[in-house]
Chains A and B, each alone.
Chain A
Amino acid sequence: MTTLADQPVKALNGSFKLSMLLNDTRYRSLTFQFIALVAIIAFMAFVGGNLVRNLTEAGLNISYAFLGEPSGYDINQRPIEYDSQSSHGRAALVGLLNTLIVAFLACVTATIFGVIAGVLRLSNNWIVSKIMAIYVEIFRNVPVLIWILIIFSVMINVAPSPRDFRGDDPVASMMLFDSIAVTNRGVYLPKPVLGDGSFLVFGVFILSIIGIFAFRSYSRKQLFDHGRLIPTFWPSVGLFFVPAILMQLILGGPISLEYPALAGFNFRGGITILGSLIALWFALAIYTGAFIAENVRAGILAISKGQTEAAGALGLRPNRIMSLVVLPQALRVIIPPLISQYLNITKNSSLAIAVGYMDVTGTLGGITLLQTGRAIETILLLMLFYLTVSLLISFFMNIFNNRMKLQER
């Protein structure tokens, strides 16, 4: 008994022994960390030493000067000005923007698919819920790369080639009053051309959107203060369209459309959406949509049945119960996994390299790497870019998530 009581006193009295570094829990963690630090330094020495030796042997050095040199290759989708004389750095920037474009498009579409499929899977319509279950299981259990390749192959092989649109009796024809052409090289859409005075139209449009918000808050105030119910839907729709269209007509059509037209072997003019972009976009959306559907379903199922029944007892209709009572609560459960699905889309967009869409992996990590041979620099930059995007997305989504969270008291 005496030893039990004596020991800590002895230790506290400060007779520090070397063995306490190992046997005393107060010092042991310091020892472990010291050893870990030495191990990390040793690892760095091993890796760094090898790197330096290998580089000197190959006559290379670490330098980012290649980013300023002319790239010498073309990129088929250019959100900013770029040609083969531009620098590798600019090529990387174009690729980066292309990544963001496809990631954004796929995130929006996947959310729509996912919410629809998730809600419909819980529908009491037997055949609809079964179809949605099959959709989710099929798409979740097959690699996204295979989906991208299947959709890309279908686009190439099934859609008509631009050649088919030629001649007096063409095999294929354009859709919607000769404005949209679906070909195996991509989809051609009319492009808005901004003439003089188009900023006035935009100004009116923005003003009318502000007007819609003002009108809605006014009607809500009326409802809460005086109990008067002012219909908001049709006035909002009217405000959205009418003033801008009126302005466009009054000014004599400052915003016009440039239609794609056959010129030589291909369509010219208009906006081109590449086949590879569509394949990647659609495949990512439909694949991730299946995962989001499961998240949505889990979120809805997490809301207790009492909520639905209480809303029903108040006399709400089923679709209003869903939109006013269940979904707002389910959103809190859905958002965190949704964030990680968005991150997955961004990361999976690097599969663009399989269909030749020039995202940042295709430019910086593909052609630039091959042309300059600077593997370490390009791959580090590539990782840095994805890391930044991932961290930014999770940062903003976490802010959003915190605002949506239930305010607990």
Chain B
Amino acid sequence: MVYFILKRMVQSVFVMLAVAFLAFSLFRFVGDPITQMTGVETSVADQERLREELGLNDPFVSQFMRFTGDMLKGDFGFSYRTRQPVADMIADRIPATLELGVVALIISLVVGVPAGVYTALKPRGVLTQTILMTTLVGVSIPTFVIGIMLIFIFGVQLGWLPTFGRGGTVQIGSWESSLFTIDGWRALLLPAITLGVYQLTLTMRLVRAEMMEVMRSDYIRFAMARGVPMGRLHYKHALANTMVPVITIIGLQFGGVIAFSIVTESVFQWPGMGLLFLESIRFVDIPVMGVYLVVIAFFFVLVNLVVDLLYVAIDPRLRISDVS
């Protein structure tokens, strides 16, 4: 057990290093930060001097060593564009993205799990076919089109909900939250639905598949034969058994939600990490881009690790080779 945990952690460190290298080498090669940092009338000589000062002329390896070393020390550098510490910029944006992601995930669960159970129990019903068809269409529309449609209908035409930003936020320590005001919730609704639709479909299909699988298992058939009431059978025994793999996947989905929030945040001008990332791509703000990639990868690896450990904790019979 201890060996397994250690092994998993070493692997995670390996993954993080690889991602750091990728992130760094990518941004070492993209665009020219100097042209972004300086104005129209800056002379070529001044640009060259700045390039030298920032160490952009150093060899690749020493730049990477400096990048990784600084990062391990918790020094994420300064943005080329705003000249602020990147760590602060990203930290400021984390609450917005996390709240959006969590609410989107909750929407996908609250709708997705019951829908999955229902469609599994009544596979031939008209409602089931309708739900399946709707989700199929939902998953086939690009996220950004869904967002724009919602803005157009609920923002511009009906004027019910705000179309951009976070609305009223409340500062709790260093965490800026939009969950404690009505205004904040109104602003959160459309982006969260947009982001949640895709996950909702995944969740529903997963629950449905697992549920159908479990309903066919010997264990449920025995229970049925013993005369356990159907309602109890469905919700206590069957659903409980589907939850382990479902929770696993949901954990992993959370990473996807965070990453896909790039698109949603762009459409709704939601001031989270994804929007910051897109802005930094636009302005070739290398330090911000690099740190964002590493932070996202860190989220993924962390969730992955926790899920793996949970898995083993719940079901020790599972061997590691079956888990991945």
- Check if A and B associate: no
User: B-side interface residues toward A, CB under 8 Å?
Assistant: none
